[in-house]
Amino acid sequence: MPEHSKTWIDDTTLRVMTYKSGSFTFQLGLDLKQIQAMLDRVNDSQKRFNKTPSLPLIIDQVQDKVLASSIYSTNTIEGGQFTEQETANILKQDPKTIQKSEERRLTNLKESIEWIKKFSSKKLLPVNGKIFELSTMFQLHTLVSQNLAEQHNPAGQLRNNQPTQKTIVGNDVHGGTYRPPKCIEDIEYLIQAWAEWLNNPAIINQPSIVRACLAHYYFELIHPFWDGNGRTGRLIEMFILEQSGYRFSSSAIWKYYQTNIHEYFALFNQCRKQAEKKVDNPNQLFVEFVLNGMFETIEYLHDESNRLISFLLYQTALNQAKFSKHISDRQFNLIHNLMRAIGENDKHFSKADIYRMPQIQALYNGKVERTFYRDIDKLITLEFLSEQDGLIFIGE
């Protein structure tokens, strides 16, 4: 049986020999020149997003939306059945009142994200990362796995397959199956080597996004725990990104992974097979996938923040119009009832549909129908409402 050994092939490549799982190579495996333009776009977009006005209303709403979306996405990737709205509702509950493991997985993820936020950088640091401690990996897995009715997955405990136990990752639909290292001696050695590689000066000074996604990639290949590896791997990626100032996008990208789940899973297999065949730059496609996801995610965050800022300005103008009596209390309440109806039904309505709503009928009790239409037309003239294709919208 071969002994454990490690050899640095060059500044960024560490080759490891295990007892039973053969050789394992940690490498950059990409052409940085090919991704530099996209890296610059991502960092420019993140830098602009980080300058979003820090109004509590905006930050709180973006944070709540990203939290629910991120947890819904990472849980769905692992087979979770809750909708995004159900996820948001569960996250609002007191964790102490939750009994079901399916719901605890969600509150565990929330606690994990909140723990990571303690280490966030307010300043964007695209390079020059920080040391990643193995204790962070164990802490994240413990947070993810705590209080679940799963005896086969002790929180924070590495996997140790018995001779008859098989761990198989992946499926034929997503590029095939893979058997990760199984004995604890190999897993412990590989995890230590992974951390050594991740903290090597030539790697720690790589672009933070590259280092984060490769930490995620190699962690999943080692697959060190019985369960929760996917969630823990994405949290590790988030931790490194948060340390480097990638606010909100660090977890919001999970929505991109979930939306593109086939490509996400297939790339793990594709890059692994290319490395086995010693193809040049075997990790290029995975890194490009993550970069595209980061750019798409940050642009979405820009749009969401701008929407909230516009809504805040709209609310201010609406309140001022009411205070100065440019609109009546009834017209003010008409708008708020319409906002609620649009939000609850996720669609827009015609004037006639609005008039038939019970809450609008109550608002115009004792008034003739033309009063309602006169109010609607005045609010359109003042640009608090608009009409497009027969439907009424909030604002212009």
128 is in an annotated binding site: no
245 is in an annotated binding site: no
Residue 162 exposure: Cα atoms within 13 Å on the Cβ side: 3
227 is in an annotated binding site: yes
Tokens in use for 128?
């020059």
φ and ψ of 393, to 5 deg? -120, 155
Number of Cβ within a 10 Å radius of residue 365: 7
Q: Which residue has the tokens 């027969």?
A: 390
Closest CA to 120 of 259, 242, 289, 296: 242
Query: Is 76:106 a contact under the CB 8 Å cutoff?
Result: no
φ and ψ of 258, to 5 deg? -70, -40
229 is in an annotated binding site: yes
Q: What is the dihedral of CA 185, 190, 196, 198, to 10 degrees?
A: -150
Query: Is 218:271 a contact under the CB 8 Å cutoff?
Result: no
In single-letter form, the type of residue at position 177 comes to T
233 is in an annotated binding site: yes
In single-letter form, the type of residue at position 55 comes to L
Residue 309 CA to its chain's centroid (Å): 22
| H helix or E strand, kind and range, residue 230 | helix 229-243
Tokens in use for 40?
């610059």
262 assigned to active site: no
Query: Is 139:147 a contact under the CB 8 Å cutoff?
Result: no
Query: Is 139:161 a contact under the CB 8 Å cutoff?
Result: no
Q: Which residue has the tokens 């565990």?
A: 108
Contacts of residue 279, Cβ cutoff 8 Å, sequence gap at least 6? none
The catalytic residue among 141, 174, 216, 223 is 223
Please report, in range form, the residues annotated as the binding site for ATP: 227-234
The residues that are catalytic are 223
Please report, in range form, the residues annotated as the binding site: 227-234
